Structures are given as C-alpha cells and as structure tokens.
A and B are shown apart, each in its own frame.
Chain A
Amino acid sequence: MTRDDVFKKAVEMLVKYKKAKLTADQITEQTTLLKDLEMNSARLVDMILDFEDEFNVRIEDAEADAVRTVGDCVELIMRKVS
C-alpha cells in the first residue's frame, strides 16, 4: 500500500467523525484532528479501532495518544503495515 493509498483511506474513514464543515478534499496531512476537524476527543478511541479493523493492525494506547494530525495517522498506519 502506498502512503497516498493509506491517506485516502484514512480520510474516507475520518470524515464520519468530523464536525467541521471541511470537505474530504480539503483535508491534508497537516489537518489537525481536534482543532481543524473539530472531532470530539472521545471519538479518537473509535477512530483507532476503525484503523485497526481496516488495516488489520494493533495500535497501542501510547501510540494512539501521540496522534494529533491526519499525517500522524498515516505515519502510524504505514509503520504498522510495513
């Protein structure tokens, strides 16, 4: 899977958690989850579970806690699948 594939998939999965009016094509790797996407911080847990299911990986709590941006999500998933 290329980084771009992972990015596109991650965005597709993230949009259901965003409250901000940003559209999917406005999201970049620099987009922050809590501030830019206005995600409810409680839903970060669900987002991580979704990534685990989709990419068949296990993400530890400490790794999840470090995620701030969409790019951080992509980086984490790439590390796990490689």
Chain B
Amino acid sequence: MNMNLQNDIEDFVSDNEKLIDKWGKRNPRFEKKYEDSVMRVLSTYGQKVTEFTETKGKILGPGYEPYIIAFFIGLYSNKRIPLSENTDDCKVLGQPLSKWGHGETKQQKNGRTDSSLYFRHTYPKLVNYIFISLVAKTDVDWIALDKGDIKVSSVITALINTMEEYANYGFSVMEDKLHSDPGYFFSHRSFLDIFLQLTNKQNIEEEGEEPEDL
C-alpha cells in the first residue's frame, strides 16, 4: 500500500525521470512459501550480516540473486505463474531493483566443499536487461502512455507483474528440484546446465517441454 503511494508521489515529483528509473524503485514480490524452500537454502536471504558462519555453504548472495535466477528460468521457459491473490501469501524483496547487482565486491564463501573464497563482481547492468525483457513480454499500450492517457505507475505495475509471474514459475522449478534432491544445486554446474538447456535453440523451438527435462 505504502509502496504504491510512494510510487505515485515519485510520478508526481519527478516527471522527467526515465521509465527504467521509476521501475527501478520498485521491489518485486514473491510467494512466501519459497522463502524457506528456496531463498534461504540457496542464498543469504534473511540473514543478518553478523550471521557469518551461516553464509558458508550458500551458493548465492543476497535474496535478489535467487530471484534473478528464478526470473530467467521463467523467462527462458516462457512460463508464468500468477502470484497468489492473497497478499498474505506474498513477500516483498528488501532491495529495490535499481540496487540489484550492486552487491559490492565482497568475498563470499561458496557452497563447494573446498570452501574456496570467491571474489564477487557487481553486475548493475543486468537489471537493464530484465527491464528490456519485461517491455518485450508485457502487453502495454505504450502510445497511450506517451500520450498521457494511462498512468506510468500502472505500466510499471504491469511490468513488475510480468516479472513476478516469471519468477514465480522459476521458483516452482527450483523448489521441485530441491525437493527431489536437496543437494541438486550444490553442484557447480547445475544452474548453468539449466540455462544451457533452456536456451538451447531446439528446446526453445519445441516449446511446451516439461521443465523436468532440464
């Protein structure tokens, strides 16, 4: 609620702001059930900085990282699942989109048994591509927007919805994988393999293939 209000104010006060920047101020939602089954398993989501010992054994850093992965799984599978309509079932990610990939150059302990330290780089540009894909995949009357016939906030909400639905599908895939094999993602190739197979031209052409075939 507050979030929407805030966005409205933003619309009002900085009219020349770019669409991507307005969008960047938003925090997408995800279904609460994935918090424990996926987010906390794979990332440091929900951990305080001081919980240092817990960070080892995590494959990913902040909560937006599993979110990005979930989103791209949905995007490349071209499958969406709408979020539960009950707002109590959903949770908002703490970091607004514009902050994604700014995760500082910190060292993170990787989940591999050799527990070697990895140096992380920032990847702020990635959100631009997410934005581009949302524009490509969201049905918006852009002419009406430019004409001022519809509100920017409604367009941004539509974009965010697309994002949430793709991610929601991605989370369901990840949850399934973890359910059948809790160690599935602890192989250093598991995520890469998922994406390599998802983006294999053949797979894309033969749409409708089950994600289990990943």
Whether chain B is bound by chain A comes out as no
Residues in chain B within 8 A of chain A (CB atoms): none
